[in-house]
Structure 1
Amino acid sequence: MHNHLGFPTPVVAIAGSTDPAAPLVVLLHGRGSHEQEIIALADHLPAGPAYAAVRAPIAEGGGYAWFANRGIGRPVPESLRATMDWFRGWLDEVAPAGSPVALVGFSGGAAFAGGLLLDDPARYAGTAALYGTLPFDAGVPTTPGRLAGVPVFVAQGEHDTVIPRELLDRTWGYLRGESGAAATARRDPVGHSIAAPARSALSDWLRQRLLA
């Protein structure tokens, strides 16, 4: 099955609540990974929400990617636009406007989550960017005040050598500063992987955003 954008119908792994009224947390995997890998994160996150891990639509490197890029963390704008529209087609069917949705993206999935958030800041109850960059210079606005009051969780690794440091620093600065986001941010002494303390902080943050 393919939709009008030429991408496959989303393959989705689910966990957590089966109550249609439960808040939805969408888990977005990294480049070259897949939905079954990141759905395991739901085991460490609060009970109460429904969790959906979506497989990215572009096959790459034995796994899948959210967008074509011009280098690590630098999406091709036309590709990002097409995949964001594809994703929103899925999301707006499973979680109609007004139902609480949080995005949790790791690495390439963090860039994709950031693109979705910057494209439509009012749509999401919260967005977590884990070990990744925002998609700067990729066709979505990164203007001052763009995320005024929007809850954002940022986790980075001090020893991350996968994502260019300048992009990590620019993301950190923008989300904690000129974006206006209500940011919860932490850096842990790890590389390109989710630190256990960051995972428990993310769990607390989701609980506050969605279940308080």
Structure 2
Amino acid sequence: MQQIDADAVQWRDGSGDELLVVMHGIGSHEGDLFGLAPHLPAELTIASLRAPIPYGGGFAWFDFSPIDSDDDALINATAQGVLAWLDGLERRYSRVHLLGFSQGGAMAVQLARLAPDRFASIAHLSSFVHAGELPGDAELAAREPRLPLLATIGELDDVIHKDKIVRSAPWLDAHFDVDRRTYRRAHTIVGEELADVVAFLQRV
């Protein structure tokens, strides 16, 4: 298991009893997406995690592969670390939501695949689904109602390999209640997208 550094987590208290777990992209850090916190619904407590694996000047959740790989040992070990971190929280939350960008988005989906009944929604930004099959996939697809997932991608995104995007889209449709949005952008988050994330979180 890849342990999450609890001391590195950046927190914002919310007025409600629901938690949003935020996971950054490869080579980044916990402070990156935490910059979105002032724009996100005030009811949500936000916890921005640091990935456990040093990568360049930042951190990664699992091995980088420009093309598909179904080697899920490391991503599952990291996902188990996130689940263990959640289990260790002193406060209990009524619902837990996930938001991940790029590699963090793949992590968010992997968490739902390992714990199909644990999460309330996923914001899956500029991302993909890790290849391979897991025992929880069928349970995830059978959820009623299905887990809401906001999937965003940029038409100019040249970081996420097109093969991953093409493969991931139908997989997401088969396992989640997908709200898919496309933007005229590269591998980043734009204002229109942030507004859609806020609306999604308010809806779910």
The partner residue of 1:121 within 116, 122, 125 is 116
Match of 2:151 in 1: 154
Aligned-pair CA distance for 1:138: 6.6
What secondary structure is seen at the aligned counterpart in 1 of 2:81? helix
In 2: Cα distance, 1:66 partner to 1:138 partner? 19
In 2: Cα distance, 1:141 partner to 1:8 partner? 22
Aligned-pair CA distance for 1:125: 0.7
Match of 2:183 in 1: 188
Match of 1:9 in 2: 5
Amino acid at match of 2:194: R
- RMSD of aligned Cα (Å): 2.3
1:65-104 Cα distance to aligned partner (Å, 9 max, x none)? 0112444564731111211111111012227777200000
In 1: Cα distance, 2:73 partner to 2:106 partner? 15
In 2: Cα distance, 1:96 partner to 1:88 partner? 14
In 2: Cα distance, 1:55 partner to 1:75 partner? 24
What secondary structure is seen at the aligned counterpart in 2 of 1:25? strand
**Count of residues paired in the alignment:** 201
The partner residue of 2:79 within 77, 84, 107 is 84
Q: Could you list the structure 1 runs, at least 4 aligned residues long, displaced by more than 6 angstroms after superposition.
A: 95-98
> Matches of residues 1-212 of structure 1 in structure 2 within 5 Å?
5=1, 7=3, 9-10=5-6, 11-17=8-14, 22-71=17-66, 74=69, 76-94=71-89, 99-137=94-132, 139=134, 142=137, 146=141, 148=143, 149-176=146-173, 178-179=174-175, 181-209=176-204
What secondary structure is seen at the aligned counterpart in 2 of 1:152? strand
| C-alpha distance 80-52 of structure 1, shift in aligned 2 (>3 A) | same
In 2: Cα distance, 1:79 partner to 1:44 partner? 32
In 2: Cα distance, 1:158 partner to 1:95 partner? 42
In 2: Cα distance, 1:73 partner to 1:97 partner? 36
| C-alpha distance 58-140 of structure 1, shift in aligned 2 (>3 A) | farther
Contact 2:99 2:108 in 1 (8 A): yes
In 1: Cα distance, 2:70 partner to 2:89 partner? 26
Q: Structure 2: any 5+ residue segments left out of the alignment?
A: none
1:152-205 Cα distance to aligned partner (Å, 9 max, x none)? 1111111111001121122222223x22x2111101111111121111111011
TM-score w.r.t. the length of structure 2 is 0.88
Amino acid at match of 1:136: A
Q: Structure 1: any 5+ residue segments left out of the alignment?
A: none
| C-alpha distance 105-95 of structure 1, shift in aligned 2 (>3 A) | farther
Aligned-pair CA distance for 1:44: 1.8
